[in-house]
A and B are shown apart, each in its own frame.
Chain A
Amino acid sequence: GAGVSQSPSNKVTEKGKDVELRCDPISGHTALYWYRQRLGQGLEFLIYFQGNSAPDKSGLPSDRFSAERTGESVSTLTIQRTQQEDSAVYLCASRTTTSSTSGLEQYFGPGTRLTVT
């Protein structure tokens, strides 16, 4: 079946502009995560959606970052007034909800490479 998809795959924007990144999770996956990965670094958690629960926004680095998710489908990550330090790959992952070990792994999309000039 289809995996997690993200769009655009690459985005170049000018400093100060707003950008919107999209994630389509695997159908039926109730949990959705956004991560940021700077060049040569590990993944930084940004935000986590789980069903209809309030999202865990504890990783968002500033109020310029926000994310939404409609039900258990598409999510968008918005960065307002982009800065050069926002340049990174933004990765989305989704996961099913189950109590078994096999449901705990996250399935990642290919990422959106954001470059702020």
Chain B
Amino acid sequence: SQQGEEDPQALSIQEGENATMNCSYKTSINNLQWYRQNSGRGLVHLILIRSNEREKHSGRLRVTLDTSKKSSSLLITASRAADTASYFCATRSGGTSYGKLTFGQGTILTVHP
């Protein structure tokens, strides 16, 4: 089973609406990161939240982390057509910050103009 699992698998909204994606994981983590992927190619880092943090903001992005529920959410406010992409959460398990990330299956977001 996957360490990180996003839901929903696909999300379709209108421009201007908010988009919320969720990620659940199974083991304890050091940090959790969200990435965006356009057209099945390279990923772009969006935001990182450490295990001792509960919420972070970056522009139109808001990430929350609930370690007791082993879950995170990514909120994109005032969505734009250009936000259309796949979004992945990735977790770094264990006691150190470094090493491999474990990625979820992703949420495909479509924002209609």
Contacts and interface: CB of A to CB of B under 8 A. Distances in A.
Using C-beta atoms within 8 Å of the partner chain, give the interface range for chain A. 20 to 34
Contacts of B101: 33, 45, 106
Contacts, number: 66
Contact of B88 (A31, A43, A97): A43
Interface of B: 2, 4, 31, 33, 35, 40-45, 48, 50, 88, 90, 92, 97-106
B42 A104 contact: no
A43 B103 contact: yes
Q: Which 5 A-B pairs have the closest CB atoms?
A: A105-B45, A108-B42, A43-B103, A42-B105, A108-B43
Contact of A91 (B4, B42, B97): B42
Interface string A87-103: 00101010001010100
